[in-house]
């Protein structure tokens, strides 16, 4: 379940699972990139699963490449071998062992094959960039009819570029796409989209700068390179396509990216999540831009009801581009506060769960921490809220840190995890919006029974075994449990209900 420790740990306090949002992790609470950093939300994921996500993406690409090769193709056998090796690496559980296997993978093949597969992956990346650009311009058609001819012309050019066989020529034409734009159309794009993209780049630069304060942060060299790429893209002489392409490349450069299911139910869940989150923002006292947010909410509902799967995915990807800059900034800030509030509420819930079983000085400290979390929860300014929350975490005593981080964890903490999962499964069984819960009803009820038995048991191994079951995200059922955690967290903690 994105890690067995949902909350209450000085070494693994995370933003909630299952949406694209920022990840807090470790005592220093350093961030790890997931999807497009800062701009979107993220999800908690450990490094081993991060590598698995990257491997699954490559495996999917390899299998697609294989389907296009005839039996006589010179690289077909090697590609099959690469697929098998990738599947074998996926089965490894140790992070360092997995990383070593990935690094050594090219040594199993000839230089010719390695160059061929690298080119295939690069071609797939460029095609993905072009397809994203096409989706972006398509999203503008319904919003800005005064530039319909320019947008359609650009789409036609993009379709032509997409069909180009020579990779170098394709990249060159794609990079130079905006050079033929009329002055007014170019101005329109800059006025409507460029400020938002520049803000995303600037926030990403700040994000990386904060990450790099931790000397032990993973992928330090890669993060420095990504920060430099952002700084270069922010330059005023860079076109909109250059900037968007840089953001897209950054979003997939580090192999820590949430695996999004391709099925429509998952996409529908994401739309529903945004609708629920917009409801929370709109209903807040003194909420700003209520009319604009209500209109956006209606667009989410319309997409959910009327759009096909591809249109829904495109809407989710590009709706932010269509918002006024001030509205977009306000919405992102409110979402960030919402995500953080939920995490604070989860930590408060955990503290209150274990407090009755703690004595003496630790009990006093936990009571004080809970009070500080509640103060942080009430703050409206995101930076003040964030600093109050992380400041409390950083000031855990060594005694409390040792208690929470002991392996295995103490019984009160294990029981709190189990109780959290008990409430979650019960919610799944009662939520009619989670359609697949009906298909998994037998499994869910069996798992609920096991969780309840583990709570009542004094057997430490039994508790750990059940908790570990929630980490099995490689199975279809495990992925289902991961995907719908956010439904429960919005339901249980979304309105600052601690």
pLDDT of residue 49: 62
pLDDT tens track for 198-232: 887 887 788 778 767 767 666 677 778 888 888 99
pLDDT, average across residues 187-206? 76
pLDDT tens track for 115-135: 888 888 888 878 887 887 787
Contact present, 5 and 417 (Cβ < 8 Å):
yes
Distance CA(203)–CA(193), nearest Å, equals: 16
Q: Enumerate the β-bridge partners of residue 25.
A: 30
pLDDT of residue 125: 78
91-95, 152-156, 412-416, 492-496: least confident range: 492-496
pLDDT of residue 116: 87
pLDDT tens track for 316-325: 878 887 888 8
Q: Of all residues in the chain, what percent carry a pLDDT higher than 70?
A: 80
In the predicted model, what is the mean pLDDT of the chain?
Answer: 78
Q: How far apart are the first and last CA of the chain?
A: 21
| 3-class secondary structure, 15 | coil
For residue 21, the 8-state DSSP code is B
Q: Answer whether the bond into residue 242 is a cis peptide, omega within 30°.
A: no
Contact present, 206 and 174 (Cβ < 8 Å):
no
Query: Which of the four pLDDT bands, split at 50, 70 and 90, describes residue 344?
Result: very high
Distance CA(40)–CA(34), nearest Å, equals: 9
Radius of gyration of the chain from its Cα atoms, rounded to whole angstroms: 24
pLDDT of residue 50: 57
pLDDT of residue 290: 95
Cβ atoms within 10 A of the Cβ of 386, count?
19
Residue 255 has pLDDT above 60, yes or no: no
Q: Across 195-199, 244-248, 255-259, which has the greatest mean pLDDT?
A: 195-199
Query: Which of the four pLDDT bands, split at 50, 70 and 90, describes residue 264?
Result: confident
Contact present, 138 and 155 (Cβ < 8 Å):
yes
Residue 28 has pLDDT above 50, yes or no: no
pLDDT of residue 34: 25
Secondary structure (DSSP) of 269-307: HHHHHHHHHHHHHHTSTT-SSHHHHHHHHHHHHHHHHH-
Distance CA(33)–CA(225), nearest Å, equals: 13
167-181, 295-309, 348-362, 372-386: least confident range: 167-181
pLDDT tens track for 434-483: 656 677 888 899 999 999 999 999 999 999 989 888 776 556 787 778 77
Distance CA(41)–CA(335), nearest Å, equals: 8
């Amino acid at each position: 379940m994105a890690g067995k420790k949902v909350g209450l740990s000085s070494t693994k306090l995370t933003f909630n699972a299952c949406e694209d949002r920022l990840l807090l992790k470790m005592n220093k609470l350093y961030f790890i990139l997931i999807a497009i950093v800062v701009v979107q939300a993220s999800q908690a994921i450990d490094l081993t699963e991060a590598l698995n996500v990257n491997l699954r993406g490559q495996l999917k690409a390899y299998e697609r490449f294989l389907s296009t090769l005839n039996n006589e193709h010179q690289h077909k056998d090697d590609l099959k071998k690469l697929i098998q090796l990738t599947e074998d690496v996926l089965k490894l559980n140790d992070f360092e062992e997995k990383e070593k296997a990935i690094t050594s993978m090219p040594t199993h093949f000839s230089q010719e094959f390695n160059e061929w597969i690298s080119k295939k992956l690069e071609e797939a990346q460029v095609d993905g960039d072009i397809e994203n650009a096409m989706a972006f311009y398509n999203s503008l058609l319904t919003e800005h009819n005064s530039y319909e001819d320019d947008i359609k012309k650009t789409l036609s050019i993009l379709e032509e570029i997409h069909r180009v066989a020579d990779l170098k020529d394709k990249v060159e034409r794609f990079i130079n796409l905006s050079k033929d734009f009329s002055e007014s159309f170019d101005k329109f794009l800059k006025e409507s989209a460029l400020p938002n993209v520049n803000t995303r780049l600037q926030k990403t630069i700040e994000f990386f700068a904060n990450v790099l304060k931790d000397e032990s942060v993973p992928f330090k060299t890669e993060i420095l390179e990504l920060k430099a790429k952002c700084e270069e893209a922010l330059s005023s002489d860079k076109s909109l396509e250059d900037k968007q392409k840089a953001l897209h490349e950054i979003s997939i450069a580090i192999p820590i990216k949430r695996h999004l299911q391709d099925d429509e139910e998952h996409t529908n869940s994401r739309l529903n999540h945004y609708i629920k989150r917009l409801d929370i923002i709109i209903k807040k006292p003194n909420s700003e831009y209520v009319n604009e947010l209500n209109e956006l909410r209606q667009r989410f509902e319309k997409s959910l009801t009327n759009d096909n799967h591809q249109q829904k995915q495109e809407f989710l990807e590009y709706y932010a581009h269509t918002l006024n800059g001030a509205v977009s900034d306000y919405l992102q800030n409110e979402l960030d506060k919402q995500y953080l509030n939920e995490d604070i509420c989860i930590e408060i819930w955990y503290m209150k769960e274990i407090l009755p079983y703690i004595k003496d000085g630790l009990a006093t400290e936990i009571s004080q921490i809970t009070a500080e979390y509640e103060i942080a929860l009430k703050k409206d300014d995101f930076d003040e809220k964030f600093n109050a929350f992380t400041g409390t975490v950083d000031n855990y005593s060594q005694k409390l840190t040792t208690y929470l981080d002991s392996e295995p964890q103490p019984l009160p903490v294990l029981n709190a995890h189990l109780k959290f999962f008990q409430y979650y499964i019960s919610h799944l069984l009662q939520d009619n919006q989670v359609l697949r819960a009906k298909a998994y009803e037998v499994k869910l009820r069996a798992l609920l029974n096991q969780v309840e038995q583990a709570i009542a048991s004094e057997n430490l191994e039994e508790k750990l075994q059940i908790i570990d079951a929630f980490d099995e995200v490689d199975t279809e059922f495990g992925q289902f449990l991961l995907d719908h955690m956010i439904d429960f967290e919005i339901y249980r903690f979304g309105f600052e209900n601690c």
